[in-house]
Amino acid sequence: MVRKMSNNKKEIIEMAQYCLNCKIKPCSNKGCPLNNDIPTVIQKIKEEKYEEAYLELTKTTVLPAICGRICPHQKQCMGSCVRGIKGKPVSIGELEAYLGDLAIEKDYKIAKNEIQDLKGRKIAIVGGGPAGLTAAAFLAKREAEVTIYEKYNYLGGILVHGIPEFRLSKDIVKKSIDKILELGIKVEYNKEIGKNLDLQELDKNYDIIILAFGANISSKMGIEGESLEGVYGGNELLETKQHPNYNGKTVIVNGGGNVAMDTARTVKKLGAERVIVTYRRAREQMPAEEKEIEDAMQEGIEFLFQTNIVKIIGDEKNKVSKVELIKTELVQKEGESRLSPVNIEGSSYEMKANYVIMALGSHTSKVVEELGLQLDNRGKIKVDEYGRTSNNKIFAIGDLAGNRGTVAWAARSGRDVAGNIK
């Protein structure tokens, strides 16, 4: 079920009144990847100046109805809230989502820049996910001529095909994107780099090119049995929605982030009898948002913490039949600040399973290697402090450039590069 946000004005005002309007603004300066001026926005909500609050918010973000719902607020803005030291933090996410929803309902416009210094500059953005959309918006605010090239017949990227409907309404995503497009951004759909979109052609026709098509190929463990029938990548299942029949089956999801939670919950809703999440570290080390972990547990998903997959075992038809698991202990290794999981010798055991889904992170597609750009040691596009690649006309943002993999950080990378372009 989509997380319900309050639309009761009285409740919203009460939430806003709870804010202390700190002068040091830890929620903004320390907690928010986008550095939204949260106390100023909340003060305007207190005064019931909603359009002014929205305009203030859109100085730094163009996805409030989305980020207000899906950001890991407890680890970010709300985790830095002074109110949270001795009690409950301010409900920042809910206030942001309310403003975003109200802007859609009342047709508030995204704030444009006072100085519109890119008039006449032609900029192509390849990829219409949160990074590309944000870059497009902040360039259009400066009156650049922006065209987004998108491989699907819709915009949104991970917001559409990476986050399930029960976490984020696709209607909210579409309406949020429509507000961005109102800035005068053009879109070319069904255009994919390496297939029917050529980087050299873009280079001829545009002043600047921004690559923002993500890194959505699921990583593998490199263990025996990963090529068996019944082993899938979580990213691909969420993106393509081409799921096998889970009815009455046991599915193991390996990983501890939001992709693992989204995959596990999706599989459970599609009829799997048992869904078991394996994670080689402790629960408190899981990168997934706590709310998503709790929701998964309430929905009957099982968790095996400090447990690693050693091998995937197949039957005579080369289909998944079992996995070999091993317990881990967390040890402090020299030179590392984070505790590392180490397999405990003699603790391995087997468990029956019909499907195994890898949700351990992601990497770029092979097409990145063919772009003629310098890559880093992880296979991501290497960029300088301004987001510029080894080609001075080409920038890269989001996962493609190795930025942190949350929607807010993707948006931040898009905004930063948009600000760096002269």
Cβ distance 44 to 12 under 8 Å?
no
The structure tokens listed for 203 are: 């280079």
Same structural domain, 239 and 355: yes
Q: Which of left, alpha, beta for 101 (phi over 0: left; psi -120 to 50: alpha)?
A: alpha
Residue 35 corresponds to which tokens in the numbers above? 């550095």
Residue 21, domain CATH: 1.10.1060.10
Q: Is residue 3 part of a domain?
A: no
Looking at every residue in the chain, the average pLDDT score rounds to 94
Q: Which residue has the higher pLDDT, 3 or 47?
A: 47
- Do 132 and 23 fall within a single domain? no
| Spatial distance between the Cα atoms of 396 and 378, rounded to a whole number of angstroms | 15
Same domain, 207 and 229: no
Is 80 within a domain?
A: yes
- Is 411 found in the same domain as 343? no
Within-domain flag for 85:
yes
Residues 352-406 pLDDT 10s: 999 999 999 888 888 999 999 999 988 899 999 999 999 999 999 999 998 877 8
For residue range 411-422, what is the model confidence (pLDDT) as tens digits? 999 999 999 999
pLDDT at 1: 41
The distance between the two most distant Cα atoms of the chain, rounded to a whole number of Å, is 69
In a domain, 2, yes or no: no
The pLDDT value given to residue 257? 93
Residues 244 and 267 in one domain: yes
Q: Say yes or no: 259 and 346 in one domain.
A: yes
- pLDDT band for position 43 (cuts 50, 70, 90): very high
Same domain membership, residue 270 and residue 191:
no
Residue 49's domain comprises: 9-106
Q: Scanning the structure block, which residue is given the tokens 């006072």?
A: 114
Same domain, 289 and 304: yes
Full-model pTM: 0.93
Considering 73, 106, 139, which residue would you say is the last residue of a domain?
106
1: number of Cβ within 10 Å: 7
pLDDT value for 55:
97
Residue 259 lies in a domain: yes
How many structural domains comprise the chain? 3
Where does the pLDDT of residue 2 fall: very low under 50, low under 70, confident under 90, or very high at 90 and above? Answer: very low
**CB-hemisphere CA count at 13 Å for 307?**
18
Average pLDDT in the 187-193 region?
97
338, 361, 384: which is the final residue of a domain? 361
pLDDT at position 334: 85
Residues 53 and 102 sit within 8 Å (Cβ to Cβ): no
Question: Averaged over 327-353, what is the pLDDT?
Answer: 93
CA dist 286 and 257 (Å) reads 6
Q: How confident is the model at residue 6 (pLDDT cuts 50, 70, 90)?
A: low
Q: What is the pLDDT of residues 256-280, one digit of tens each?
A: 999 999 999 999 999 999 999 999 9
For 278-292, write each residue's pLDDT tens digit.
999 999 999 898 889
Q: 65 Cβ partners below 8 Å, 6+ apart?
A: 97, 100, 101, 103, 104, 172, 175, 176
Task: Tell me if 149 is assigned to some domain.
Answer: yes
pLDDT at position 34 over 90: yes
Same domain, 55 and 130: no
State pLDDT tens for residues 55-103. 999 999 999 999 999 999 988 999 999 999 999 999 999 999 999 999 9
Q: Is a pLDDT exceeding 70 seen at residue 4? A: no
pLDDT band at 251 (very low <50, low <70, confident <90, very high): very high
Shared domain for 280 and 206, answered yes or no, is no
216-227 mean pLDDT: 94
CB atoms under 10 Å from CB of 259, counted, come to 29
Is residue 208 domain-resident? Answer: yes
Residues 229 and 209 in one domain: no
Question: Is the residue at 112 inside a domain?
Answer: no
Residues 390 and 343 reside in one and the same domain: no
> What residue type is 295 in one-letter code?
D
253: domain CATH number is 3.50.50.60
pLDDT of residue 5: 65
**What sign results for the dihedral spanned by CA atoms 58, 1, 81, 259?**
negative
Q: Which of 6, 169, 27, 1 is nearest to 95 (CA)?
A: 6
Closest CA to 42 of 4, 14, 70: 14
Give pLDDT, residue 115.
84
Query: pLDDT tens across 124-141, in order?
Result: 999 999 999 999 999 999
Among the candidates 346, 361, 376, a domain finishes at 361
To the nearest whole percent, how much of the chain has pLDDT over 70?
Answer: 98
